[in-house]
Homo-oligomer: A and B are copies of this chain.
Amino acid sequence: MNISVLGCGRWGTFIAWYVNKVGHNVMLWGRENSKNYIGLKENRKNDYLTLPEEIELSHSLENAISQAETIIISISAQELRSFAKRLNSINEIEGKTFVLCMKGIEADSGKRLSQVIDEEIGKRINIAVWVGPGHVQDFVRNIPNCMVIGSDDVEVTKRLASELNSDLIRFYYGQDMIGNELGAATKNVMGVAAGMLDGLQYSSLKGSLMARGTREISRLVRAMGGNDITIYGLSHLGDYEATLFSEHSHNRRFGQAFVEGQTFEKLAEGVSTVKAVKELSNMYEVELPICNALYEILFEDKNAKETLEDLFLRPVKFEF
């Protein structure tokens, strides 16, 4: 099959590498003047992997769309709306399948990424998401993982899973777009919190963080109309190993650097997600103590140590 991947950051480039490895014809698109694109064009590699020659690199969005039936998007979540407007101006998108391989929620609106793209594209397209655990650094060393593909159309889900499945990535069919999208985005919030606990020498409280983090996001998903059990699946709890415990996790490393007073240069999407979830907490009237504590620390200058101690080491009470 012809598959295009839009976005050539760490994940986009890995996806192109992976989809080619699985046996498809791949075009990888990037912005002509982006550092990642220029680097790949010159060396055909980045910090993580080398792209095989048969993967075509292109900076023409029209080309990338017209050559493929399935288009995988992996760009910064907060840029999806403006990017979707650009996609909408391309005629050939009609009837194609777009797979969002990114974890975030629109910060200003609290909207899920599939909603954002759906709102901006006026033509009939299929929208799917690809979420779940795994680090590029592990996959390129042939360390397997299980991930999730979901859409509102089970036939689309099954087709994509069958096209993309391999020994390296085992796909499960996602059954709940709300739960999987919320779960994938908010695990980054828990990653930031985990990093803060690590930085404060409270790593042992990551157990409590897991128990209480899943619970509050589960409540939010239910309030939003999703299935509260989805959060305990691969998209959220199943991604905690990779997010709360791994050296590779940008969100965890951001949280740790934050409490240690260091700067951390890589994108920590969890920070935008904290903002988005604050919106959702108000909108759906659901209390989210951990997300709220992160909001106060990141955006209201509350002291991280005191705020997290207050959260995790409060007086005795019922657990549920």
A residues with a Cβ closer than 8 A to B are: 133-135, 138, 143-146, 148, 161-162, 165, 167, 170-175, 201-212, 214-215, 227, 229-230, 232-234, 237-242, 245, 312-320
The reply to whether B206 and A241 form a contact with Cβ atoms under 8 Å apart is yes
Bound together, the chains give a CA A40 to CA B136 distance in angstroms of: 50
The reply to whether B204 and A171 form a contact with Cβ atoms under 8 Å apart is no
**Residue of B165, B205, B234, B315 touching A208 (CB-CB under 8 A):** B234
Interface centre among A135, A208, A240, A315 (most CB of B within 10 A): A208
- If A170-B316, A316-B172, A320-B229 touch, whether A242 touches B143 (CB-CB below 8 Å) is no
Interface centre among A145, A312, A317, A320 (most CB of B within 10 A): A320
Interface centre among A175, A202, A207 (most CB of B within 10 A): A207
The reply to whether A205 and B318 form a contact with Cβ atoms under 8 Å apart is no
List chain B residues, Cβ under 8 A from A208. 133, 145-146, 234, 238
CB-defined A-B contacts under 8 Å, sample of 24? A134-B204, A144-B204, A144-B205, A145-B208, A146-B313, A162-B316, A170-B312, A170-B316, A172-B316, A172-B319, A173-B319, A174-B319, A175-B318, A206-B241, A206-B245, A207-B241, A210-B238, A210-B240, A211-B232, A211-B233, A211-B237, A230-B320, A232-B232, A237-B237
List chain B residues, Cβ under 8 A from A214. 232, 237
Bound together, the chains give a CA A135 to CA B203 distance in angstroms of: 12
The reply to whether A204 and B242 form a contact with Cβ atoms under 8 Å apart is yes
**Residue of B204, B206, B237, B319 touching A175 (CB-CB under 8 A):** B319
Bound together, the chains give a CA A234 to CA B209 distance in angstroms of: 10
Closest to A227 in B: B320
List chain B residues, Cβ under 8 A from A239. 207
Interface centre among A162, A165, A232 (most CB of B within 10 A): A232
List chain B residues, Cβ under 8 A from A232. 211, 214-215, 232
- If A211-B233, A238-B211 touch, whether A135 touches B316 (CB-CB below 8 Å) is no
List chain B residues, Cβ under 8 A from A161. 316
Interface centre among A138, A173, A237, A315 (most CB of B within 10 A): A237
Give, as a whole number of angstroms, the nearest-CB distance from A229 to chain B. Answer: 6
**Residue of B170, B174, B204 touching A241 (CB-CB under 8 A):** B204
Bound together, the chains give a CA A49 to CA B175 distance in angstroms of: 50
